[in-house]
DNA sequence: TAGATTGTTAATCGATTAACAATC
DNA sequence: TAGATTGTTAATCGATTAACAATC
């Protein structure tokens, strides 16, 4: 069962390479070296080589990698040729924004329905996606064999929604609520922690202010 | 200059503790142990202790930590009592969603103006925040001594926007576009990589499917 | 050929986890 | 007191970086 052998940081970097390579492709360039990629992306070149090797793509010594080959390898490795269907819960500001991201489809996920507990939203459509009452989530998810759930509700409702998702047979949850979900171990959970960025901002800006106040030391 | 000594992963976990402790506080509980926190958040207890120690908060052996004390320490450490003003560029779906997040203010950031190149959006308000033409960004930023910029435009415009931000004197950039910004080293950049989550989903779901197809091994 | 580039193996670094002494 | 909990020092683990052989 060595399939888990690819480190998660590598997995996280692959989309970065992918988007970069798409831009390179857009300029008409057909060959690229790991060295060049590393420089442009601010990543160590050995790192880039290892990451690309993980996708099974091979380059030619002295030449480099074919941009097209790399794109195909990454797509295949991430299974981005197929997509899984997703249900989104919470058609508020953030939820609506995600419903508008048609590009997710190129990245393995298609949001096929939204759910909300607000009767004013139910029955309508957001970016073309129908909004159903939360009460219908479980049976619709089971019926359609949905794999992925997206949580864009306030923190105090997230745990409960997540549990409904598990009952609906979902296998992966993309959680935008700032709360740690307590779920069976086999459920894949990805938390988008917006506040983590803010913590880094506050701290680093403050450090800089202090450094400035202390004056240049040399 | 030991201020940089706090590891970034610690910084990223602190908001998690903070939101958790707020919920605990909401139940009326006044004392909590690192052990309990660790269990609820799925983090090793030693890790929690080290992270809390970094904020300067102290607990009492056999007793635990006062919830209130921890909240105050984390707030102070992250400088969340003050806030910095931010300009957001790109009042589309995601940008609008962020403009509606009034909670960011508790986390050290207040979005005071939005900018967009679409004349239809300029002059209007989104969640109460005025939308200005992009051409005014630089002088308004300089005038108001803005520290933080938020980029919620498509990838192909992000680099250019970021450069304008630097010219406007901003010190930190929160980038939601899937592109690596090439900026002077002193600029603090935080990338929110939504596609990273999708990479993990695709890969892990695929692994699971394969494991299932192979059948239970024991 | 010479040299740029690939790809792998070894060394380093830093975060996480384990072990343990201190304390109320 | 005994035992739970804190907080620190040491060990482990895994990712990143460095070194180097292979190749067109």
| Residues from chain B contacting residue A23 (CB–CB below 8 Å) | 155-156, 179
**Nucleotides, chain D, CB distance < 7 Å:** 3-9, 14-19, 22-24
Could you read off the pLDDT of A97-144 as tens digits, one per residue? 999 999 999 999 999 999 999 999 999 999 999 999 999 999 999 999
Cα B91 to Cα A176, A190, B129, B177: the distances in Å are 20, 26, 10, 13
Domain B84-195 adopts which CATH fold? Answer: Rossmann fold (3.40.50)
CB–CB contacts below 8 A, A to B: 194
- Residues A134-162 have pLDDT tens digits of 999 999 999 999 999 999 999 999 999 99
Q: Where do the structural domains in chain B lie, given as residue ranges?
A: 2-77, 84-195
Angle among Cα A124, A127, A132 to the nearest 5 degrees reads 35
B182 touches strand C (CB under 7 A): no
What predicted TM-score, i.e. pTM, was given to this entire model? Answer: 0.94
Across the interface, of A92, A147, A211, the residue whose CB is closest to B205 is A147
Could you give the percent of chain A with pLDDT greater than 90? Answer: 90
Nucleotide nearest to A51 (CA to C1'): C7
Give pLDDT, residue A207. 83
User: Kind and range of the H or E element at B130?
Assistant: strand B129-133
Inter-residue contact A178 to A152 (CB < 8 Å): no
Is B84-195 the same fold as B2-77? no
For A2-77, which CATH class? mainly alpha
Report pLDDT digits (tens) over B82-118: 999 999 999 999 999 999 999 999 999 999 999 999 9
Overall size of chain B counted in residues: 218
Q: Tell whether the torsion through CA atoms of A63, A67, A73 and A74 is positive or negative.
A: positive
Show the CA angle centred on residue A161, arms to residues B127 and A169, nearest 5°: 135
Residues of A 19-78 whose CB lies less than 7 Å from any atom of strand C: 33-35, 45-46, 49-50, 52-53, 57-65
Of A16, A147, A205, the CB nearest to B147: A205
Kindly report the nearest CA distance between residue A135 and chain B, in angstroms: 25
Gap between the Cα atoms of B92 and B181, Å rounded: 20
SS3 (DSSP) at B206: helix
């Amino acid at each position: 069962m060595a399939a888990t052998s690819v480190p998660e940081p590598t997995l996280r970097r692959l989309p970065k390479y992918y988007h970069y390579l798409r831009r390179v492709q857009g300029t008409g360039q057909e060959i690229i070296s790991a060295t060049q990629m590393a420089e442009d992306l601010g990543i160590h070149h050995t790192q880039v080589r290892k990451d690309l090797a993980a996708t099974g793509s091979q380059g030619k010594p002295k030449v480099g990698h074919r941009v097209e080959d790399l794109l195909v390898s990454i797509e295949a490795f991430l299974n981005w040729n197929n997509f899984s269907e997703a249900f989104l819960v919470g058609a508020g500001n953030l939820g609506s924004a995600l419903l508008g991201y048609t590009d997710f489809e190129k990245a393995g996920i298609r949001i096929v329905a939204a759910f909300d507990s607000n009767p004013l939203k139910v029955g309508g459509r957001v970016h073309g996606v129908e909004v159903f009452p939360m009460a219908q989530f479980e049976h619709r998810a089971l019926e359609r064999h949905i794999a992925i759930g997206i949580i864009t509700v306030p923190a105090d409702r997230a745990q409960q929604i997540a549990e409904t998702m598990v009952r609906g047979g979902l296998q992966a949850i993309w959680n935008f609520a700032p709360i740690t979900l307590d779920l069976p171990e086999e459920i894949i959970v990805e938390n988008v922690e917006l506040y983590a960025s803010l913590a880094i901002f506050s701290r680093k800006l403050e450090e800089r202010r202090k450094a400035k106040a202390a004056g240049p030391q040399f």
